[in-house]
Amino acid sequence: MNFLQNELTEQVAQTARDFARQHIRPYIMEWDESQEFPVETFKEMGKLGLMGVLVPEQYGGAGLSYFEYKTVIEEVARVCGSVGLSLAAHNSLCTGHILQFGNEEQKQTYLPKLATAEWIGAWGLTEANTGSDAGNMRCTAVRDGDGWIINGTKNWITHGKSGDVAVVVCRTGEPRTRNNATAFIVERGTPGFSAGKKENKLGMRASETAEMVFDQCRISDSQRLGEVGDGFYQAMKVLDGGRISIAALSLGIARGAYDAARQYAQERHQFDKPIASFQGISFKLADMATEIEAANLLILQACDLKNRHLPMTREAAMAKYYASEVAVRVANDAVQVFGGYGYTKDFPVEKFYRDAKLCTIGEGTSEIQKLVISREELKK
């Protein structure tokens, strides 16, 4: 495994870095305070290929590898976790699901629009009473002639209100039975498909999180992704790749918090010395830097396996679990380095602190990651 960054990856990193500094950094607190989902910013990222990083060029995407994808999310999240989260959800979940399991007609129809951000994508698996227990979902799709009728509600959906198209996993069999779910593509504007409550969140406030409501929503069978009953299997495969993206998001947040803390520790003086010269602070920085590098290596390992189409469920879960917990610890220590100033919105670390926590919850909690890891370990 060679994890040395090549010229292409560095060029992509620089593109994402420059965009984040120019078009995201000036507005992060404005978007955070108002909970505005900056759709136009995402459309600008689409023009640069950042909204279809993994999509092959034949479908209008950038056709890059997971190394570049990880780098894009990391660089954006280093400036704003909210934008990084929405970038990850659009690429990995909705777009990724169609890319992995769509037929050729579905790919030709949807991927060019998603890859350029002409359309924003959403992905619906979670429900109010079925978070980790996704196999017990209540949102149903029932056969109706040559189509399906969907009824139910999906919760905690990124872009649940603003998304132009959604991949929705619905129950098509008996609860808790094998192969009881099927995935469908549903376009915004389809009768019976509407947005519900938008969540008022602690962090990631510029990344829209809302309900998707289905009330006698009729779609054609041509909108079905794969075979009937394959929905849960598909969702788990999509989440394997999605965990790499949340790990990269976590890494970006950790790096952003660390950058701010390191700079502040060198500029802030107490007792006529920069506080970085005191062991209590310098050792914090040492711990932060070490954990960030360890998380980075776990993510690169998962990316390498994914690029080579090798099994990576265990490695992706490890990367997501460790990196998300590191993001929380690093952001917490960054606030501590800033002291009282770190608790104010005049400095960036309080936002990294608020944003980081979601990484330990979204796309499978830390507890679920440990369950996945332990199961894979016990298979050996």
What's phi and psi for 146, nearest 5 deg? -95, 20
- The catalytic site residues sit at 363
Instruction: Please classify residue 341 by burial: count the beta carbons closer than 10 Å to its beta carbon, then call 0-12 exposed, 13-18 middle and 19+ buried.
Output: middle
Which residue do the tokens 């169609």 mark?
98
Gap between the Cα atoms of 298 and 133, Å rounded: 27
Gap between the Cα atoms of 142 and 182, Å rounded: 10
Gap between the Cα atoms of 214 and 77, Å rounded: 32
Per-residue tokens: 231 = 């929905």
Instruction: Please classify residue 271 by burial: count the beta carbons closer than 10 Å to its beta carbon, then call 0-12 exposed, 13-18 middle and 19+ buried.
Output: exposed
Gap between the Cα atoms of 235 and 94, Å rounded: 10
Per-residue tokens: 380 = 């050996």
Q: Of 67, 92, 89, which Cα lies nearest the Cα of 16?
A: 67
Instruction: Please classify residue 2 by burial: count the beta carbons closer than 10 Å to its beta carbon, then call 0-12 exposed, 13-18 middle and 19+ buried.
Output: exposed
Per-residue tokens: 343 = 């608790």
CA angle 126, 360, 281 (to 5 degrees): 160
- In single-letter form, the type of residue at position 351 comes to K
